[in-house]
Amino acid sequence: MSLASHVPLHAPSVNVGNESLVSQYSQYRSPAQTFEFFDFAFSQRDQAQLLADIERRPTDAAFAYIVTPNVDHVVRIQRKRSDLWPIYRNAWITLCDSRILGKLAQRAGVPLTVVPGSDLTVALLRDIVQADDRIAIIGGNPAMVDTLRQRFGLSQLIHHDPPMGFIHDAHATQNAVRFAIVARARYVFIAVGSPQQEMLAYRISRTGQAVGVGLCIGASLQFLTEEQARAPRILQRLCLEWLFRLTRDPRRLWRRYLVDGPLIFRIFRQWQRRRAK
């Protein structure tokens, strides 16, 4: 099967513009109790429970997506991108991807379970996904997708790689949305970076025409295929994964981790003051 980015020529015409938005938020609400932290509704599920929730979901159920906010997401949305709130509030499941957020929540008395998206992705592919499940990947490259196909024996894996900055191009965004609709995949791995992946997942869900579970997973597949190195477990446990990534790619990540990231502590104090009122 070709891994080239494509939309099948025989695909039916679909409307992916704003006019096709469904009238309500997703009908598939989180199966878990949620806790509000930094104004995100985090799902209180451990990894095993989440995998069971995902596996139980009917294959033809309307598209619903999972988001995995970390410090970068929280700072972005709290400081300059309030327009992203509906995207996160519409998610089927919201997971805490950050041990730093987990520590802050613990300090505030919020029982927040940390489930890194990269760990969930590995467990899903290893333990839940069947060889004949229809899988769609948006983002990444053909070599990465081929590695996944061979490693997990995936016989129905299709791939679409939108161009850089696609979310600012209406035509490219529509192509990505249409790909997800036509794919009829049980699992849709969206790996185009944040906030593009969350924006795309929201757009797909609002058409009301797609099925499956969308997972906004960032670089998780690159970690899995070893295209990118993930921090050693000891650094993860010490909440220093950010430092490992910074040393690997300082030119791209210095502002995120040295300028924007520390703002989380100011945001936390502000959140505590609002909460105390």
Average pLDDT of span 21-43: 67
119 part of a folded domain: yes
* Closest residue by Cα to residue 30 from 10, 16, 12, 50: 50
* Count of domains observed in the chain: 1
What is the rounded CA–CA span in Å between residue 55 and residue 25?
Answer: 22
DSSP state of 211: B
The secondary structure element, H or E, covering residue 94 is strand 93-94
167 part of a folded domain: yes
- Per residue in 229-268, pLDDT (tens digit) is 898 999 999 999 999 999 999 999 999 999 999 999 999 9
251 part of a folded domain: no
- Per residue in 153-183, pLDDT (tens digit) is 999 999 999 999 999 999 999 999 999 999 9
In this prediction, residue 225 carries a pLDDT of: 94
Q: Identify the domain containing residue 95 by its residue range.
A: 18-228
DSSP state of 186: S
What is the rounded CA–CA span in Å between residue 199 and residue 205?
Answer: 10
234 part of a folded domain: no
Compute the mean pLDDT over every residue in the chain, rounded to the nearest whole number. Answer: 88
* Portion of the chain with pLDDT greater than 70, in percent: 88
